[in-house]
């Protein structure tokens, strides 16, 4: 069977990961959470106190091993041999991942890994620059968006359910700041690919978004 890829881009909190998992499950293909790779780098930066100096980070990455494994159909992320799948979802790591993902050295280090995974098996990839940079020739491209308020509410509920102590106001501030960084970073900024289909998820459930995407794919 021919390998094909589905790229889902969009801002933080739009529901990309949830939709991508549903889509992959219904199509019987792999889901590659590319944001998890950047969070892994962010986790190491946070733990080791890295400065956002591109040359220094490039050197530090030479002694850093970030890898993805699929175990029982689920993606596991390893950092220097440690399973950090849960650790990268804790408070503060996302911000570090966002900040360090703007560095050219980090994007270069992880670009090859993402492309290699996508070349070996049909999969859904979600992120900020999948359709524009990582896989510009992906067969199917979507840009998933939603209002800032709705994205903040979703992320707030997600963090609360994980037992984290957060406020809706702080989550909203973080999302606005994340949008600013992602949209204005000099390397691979967040933007809709010219040939991507835009979907606003404000009034749609994740299942409804996935079904709409499947409808486009089947056409």
**Numbered residues of the known binding site:** 10-18
Q: Which residues are annotated as a binding site for ATP?
A: 10-18
Closest-CA residue to 37 (of 59, 23, 17): 17
Pairing verdict, β 66-71 and 74-79:
antiparallel
CA dihedral sign of residues 208, 130, 196, 10 = positive
C-alpha–C-alpha distance, residues 59 and 53, integer Å: 10
C-alpha–C-alpha distance, residues 99 and 84, integer Å: 19
E runs forming strands in 15-167: 30-33, 66-71, 74-79, 82-83, 123-127, 140-145
The torsion of the CA quartet 57, 58, 60, 65, rounded to 10 degrees, works out to 120
């Amino acid at each position: 069977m021919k390998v094909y890829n589905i790229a889902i881009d969009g801002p933080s909190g739009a529901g990309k990961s949830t939709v991508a998992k549903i889509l992959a499950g219904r199509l019987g293909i792999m889901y590659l959470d590319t944001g998890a790779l950047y969070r892994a780098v962010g986790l190491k930066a946070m733990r080791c106190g890295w400065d956002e100096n591109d040359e220094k980070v490039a050197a530090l990455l030479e002694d850093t091993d970030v890898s993805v494994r699929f175990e029982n159909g689920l993606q596991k992320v390893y950092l220097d041999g440690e399973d950090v799948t849960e650790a990268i979802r804790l408070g503060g790591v996302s911000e570090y991942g966002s900040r360090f993902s703007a560095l050219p050295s980090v994007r270069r280090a992880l670009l090859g890994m993402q492309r290699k995974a996508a070349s070996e098996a049909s999969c859904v990839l979600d992120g900020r620059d999948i359709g524009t940079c990582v896989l510009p020739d992906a067969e199917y491209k979507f840009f998933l968006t939603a209002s800032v308020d709705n994205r903040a509410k979703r992320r707030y509920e997600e963090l609360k359910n994980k037992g984290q102590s957060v406020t809706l106001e702080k989550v909203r501030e973080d999302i606005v700041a994340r949008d600013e960084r992602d949209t204005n970073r000099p390397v691979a900024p967040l933007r809709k690919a010219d040939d991507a289909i835009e979907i606003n998820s404000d009034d749609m459930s994740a299942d409804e978004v996935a079904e709409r995407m499947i409808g486009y794919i089947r056409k």
